Amino acid sequence: MDKLSLTAVLLAGGDSKRMGTNKAFLALEGRNLVDIVFEKLDSLFSEVIVVTDRLDEFAYLPARVTTDLLNEGEKNALRGIHAGLTLSSHSSCFAVACDMPFLALSLIHCMSRFAGEFDVVVPRIGPYYQPLFAFYNKTTLEVINRQLENKKLKIVDFYSGLRLKEIGEETVRSFDPHMLSFYNINTKEDYLMAKKFYDPGKSALF
C-alpha cells in the first residue's frame, strides 16, 4: 500500500497525571506505546509530526518533533492539533494520541478518502465523537485559533458550522469490530486491560 499524501499528528504532550508516569513509554510486549503508534502511522502516512513539550525524550523518532506553537494557558490537545496543522506539509492531518495503540489502519485509510472534501472527518459512536481519531483540514485553523483565544478547549465545540463528515458505528465496526481504535490508556487499570488485549501476532487486525 502506497503511503497517503497526508500528515499524521501524534499528540504526546499529556502530563499523564492519572497514570503517575509518562504513559508514552509504557511497554506492551517490550515496546513503548509511542513507538507502536508511531510505527503504524509511519507505515500509512508520508509525514508524521510529533507534538510534545518534551523534545529531548522524543528526539529519537524519525519524525518532525515540535512543541505547541501557542503556549498561553493550560496544555490541551487542541493546541497540539493546531501546531501539527500549522506545520503540516499537507492540507489535511490525522490527529491521534500516543496512548491509543490499537488504531485500525484500515479504518484510517477509509476515513482518508473524505479528508480532501471536508473540514473534519470524525467517527461518531452514538452521541459521542472521537476527536482524537480524526482528520482535520487546514481550513479549520482560523476557528481553532479563535477557540484557543477564547479559552474554549473542548475540541468538538468548534465542529459546528464546518463541513463535517461523520463516520458511523456500522462503518467503524466493519473495519474494527471491537472498536479498539478508540481505546486510550489513562489509568493503571486501562494499562492492565491493554496488556490483555495486545497480541503482536495479531497486529494486522489493528
| pLDDT, position 180 | 95
Tell whether 18 is covered by a domain: yes
3-state secondary structure of 100: coil
pLDDT in tens, 85-118: 999 999 999 999 999 999 999 999 999 999 999 9
**pLDDT per residue over 156-165, tens digit each?**
999 999 999 9
What would the grid cell of residue 29 be? 510486549
- Name the band, by pLDDT with cuts 50, 70 and 90, for residue 23: confident
Q: CA-to-CA distance for 68 and 75, rounded, in angstroms?
A: 9
Q: Provide the pLDDT for residue 206.
A: 39
Buried b (16+ CB within 10 A) or exposed e, 130-159: bbbbbbbbbebeebbeebbeeeeeebeebb
| Residue 70: all three cell numbers together | 501557542
203 within some domain: no
**Is residue 61 assigned to a domain?**
yes
Task: Report residue 19's pLDDT band, with 50, 70 and 90 as the boundaries.
Answer: low
45-94 per-position pLDDT tens digit: 999 999 998 999 999 999 999 999 988 777 799 999 999 999 999 999 99
Give the structural domain span for 10.
Answer: 4-195
Domain-located, residue 154: yes
Residue 128 lies in a domain: yes
Q: How many domains does the chain have?
A: 1
62 in a structural domain: yes
When pLDDT is cut at 50, 70 and 90, the band that residue 203 belongs to is very low
Mind giving me the DSSP string for 28-76? Answer: ETTEEHHHHHHHHHHHHEEEEEEE-S-HHHHTTSSSEEE--S--SSS--
Q: How confident is the model at residue 204 (pLDDT cuts 50, 70, 90)?
A: very low
Looking at the predicted structure, is the pLDDT value of residue 13 above 80? no
73 located within any domain: yes
CATH number at residue 191: 3.90.550.10
Alpha-helix residue ranges (DSSP H) falling in the chain: 33-44, 55-58, 77-87, 105-112, 141-149, 169-175, 188-197
Which amino acid is located at 197 in the chain? F
